[in-house]
A = this chain, B = another copy of it.
Amino acid sequence: MSEEIKDETLNEENESVEETTEEVEVEEVEEVIDEVAELKKLLSEMEDKYLRSHAEMQNIARRSREERETLVRYRSQDLAKKILPSLDNLERALAIPEMDENVRKGLEMVQESLNNALKEEGVIEISPKDEVFDPNEHQAIQSVPAADGVASDTVVEVFQKGYKLHERILRPAMVVVAS
C-alpha cells in the first residue's frame, strides 16, 4: 500500500467520524441543553414549593402553639362565668341576719371553697372600694357628689363585685362613683 492510499483511507474514516459528531451536536446536544434548562427550572420551582411548604408548616406549628396556650390559660372562663351567680346568691343568703350558726358556718365553707376553686384557676375578684374608677374593669351605675376629702372619680361603693380571669374581664364591678 502506498503512503497516499493509506492517507486516503484514514481520511475516509475521519470523515465518517465527523458526520456522527455533527449529528450529536445538532440534535442530541441541543436536546440535552434544553433538558438542562428545563431541569433547572423544575428544580427551582420545586425548591420554591418546598420552602413555602416548610414556612407554612412552621406557621401552623406556631399558631397552633399560641392557640393552645390561650385555650389552656382561659379554659375555665365559661364555667367560672356561670358560677358567679351562685356566689352572688351565697352572699345574699349570708346577709340574712337571723341564721342558725351551723347553717352560717356551712354556707361560709361553701363560699370559701368556691372562692378558692376560682382563685386556683386564675379568677381574681374586682372589688374597687376607695380606688380610682377604671372604665375597663368597673361599670358606674350611679354617681354621687364627692364628700370632703374624697377625690372625684373615686369608687365609693361596690354594688356587685366584678371578676376577671387573668387579665380578661368576666364581668365588671358595678360601682357608685364620686363626681
Please give the residue numbers on chain A whose beta carbons come within 8 Å of chain B beta carbons, in ascending order.
14, 17-18, 21-22, 24-25, 28-29, 32-33, 35-36, 39-40, 42-43, 46-47, 49-50, 53-54, 56-57, 60-61, 64, 67-68, 71-72, 75-76, 78-80, 82-83, 85-86, 89-90, 92-93, 96, 98-100, 102-103, 106-107, 109-110, 113-114, 116-118, 120-121
Contact = CB atoms under 8 A, between A and B. Distances in A.
A15 to B, nearest CB: 9
A25 B36 contact: no
Contact of A106 (B72, B92, B98, B102): B92
The 6 closest A-B pairs by CB, nearest first: A93-B106, A82-B117, A64-B64, A39-B39, A75-B75, A57-B57
Contacts of A118: 79
Can you tell how many copies of this chain the complex includes?
2
Contact of A39 (B43, B92, B96): B43
Contact of A96 (B80, B93, B103, B114): B103
A56 B56 CA distance: 11
A18 B25 contact: no
Contact of A29 (B24, B68, B99, B116): B24
Contacts of A83: 79, 83, 114, 117
9 contacts: A35-B36, A53-B53, A53-B57, A57-B60, A61-B64, A64-B67, A79-B80, A82-B117, A96-B103
A156 to B, nearest CB: 28
